[in-house]
Structure 1
């Protein structure tokens, strides 16, 4: 029987104005369920929360890759000059250029950079796409493994086949249980049970076996370069430095994954999905989960998810209430 799902409730005038339904899974590196809320068996797409696994073939084949370049391969970056410089370095390692990227183009996530492009009457390029670092890393993985760069985004390409296998291995699920769609940047989007996604992050928190050195390097790259993983004012970048031993990665449609090394229950992996893709609820759920697992939630952390709502004149107009009724060990 599925446990009661969590909720994030935004109120106004004492009334619930919007409600976001949440499912949470927390596991240890063996996949044992330490805590849950809602449906831990929910099959869902981690989307960009898969990027640490998508970067694993790169980490395995390039053990001397600088940490900032490994971090950008795991990133959903904001398209700032700092981000683009690292992507360009990573592209150059495989003899690739921006023309080889198959991620498509969108305006930079950083509003200042996007506005600056408009002022200069310049169009964004695939470098500005938040996934360009991942794609640059994939191109280098192809070169180092002896796979063709052509068609590297296709489901049947050897790189994408290997990435799917790694999701199954790290998630502790049969390969056939890893469902395949197509992501916004054209690579395969892989869906697996929520508890499997949590186990992926648990393995990142407590690496073991043959993959351990590469997983450790990914964890260290992400935590050493939080700005590269997202950008100013974005949750991954702001939360990781505030929580010792945390590697966090957001995914589209309000998915979130956290690898936690230092909890009262030891290293853990967390995955949660907000069913209506309500991005504004994500920091509230993240802090509630951290607190529920016994981690201190500081005032600086609480500032990322205020419990009260204010209007443009500064008046308090409502509240945010997080209910995770069955989050338990």
Structure 2
């Protein structure tokens, strides 16, 4: 369900009047999306996407709109945010921010073919290449994935749940965080962090657009690569990483953004961090002695950092 707040025709008409995008005609809710309210808006000038942010402050939204404006200027396939008549990228309605975006043509594909998968991997690599030297505005208003972020959020969740299980899980997580090796020189930039099929559009078998930068943040450039590996080499429910499929994803990604040696050496650590962050999102799931994220961490611990590196980067496909 993509609508959490309902808008009257009058309210939408007034919002559209703040833009030089024609006169409001009609609106249709999007069926995809679970967090923000998204509407397809029709005006006399065309179609647009109205996004009402249910749980983001204005600066967090401006992080997103400024990023998308930058990417659009670089000809990256993503929706452009429109400025209103006052020159602002975000408006406020009932104390919550909203943005009008470009409507992107295309369709969502639940099971992309090999060509479409390669295109998505390419666009992820290009996103990291474009943003490795990008200085994000309002960076601190985003949840930037790091050891500190993971630890702080886990402590918050453990306190909120307040059970023996949550306290034991926190102790396990903090111990695992201490074992990570993440050098200061490990490259950082913007990662999209959510390659769900509902956030990707294809048009006539060609990649059309990457949507929904709601989870985008400033973190290790490897995070999106790990997300792609997880999509095709370590899907939910599987306890073991499919090494061959992971190498294929890395090989395709590296054609468009070659990894630095330090990234290859510490992919293991960022991978574990990503799993620990997933653990926080689902902190109430499973018993401390046996839950999904722990089984994944156990697999990586048993394999070890050096063997992981050897398996993925020696004899590359």
Q: TM-score, normalised by structure 1?
A: 0.29
Larger Rg: 2
Structure number with greater CO (CA < 8 Å, separation at least 6) is 1
Structure number having the greater strand percentage: 1
Q: TM-score, normalised by structure 2?
A: 0.30
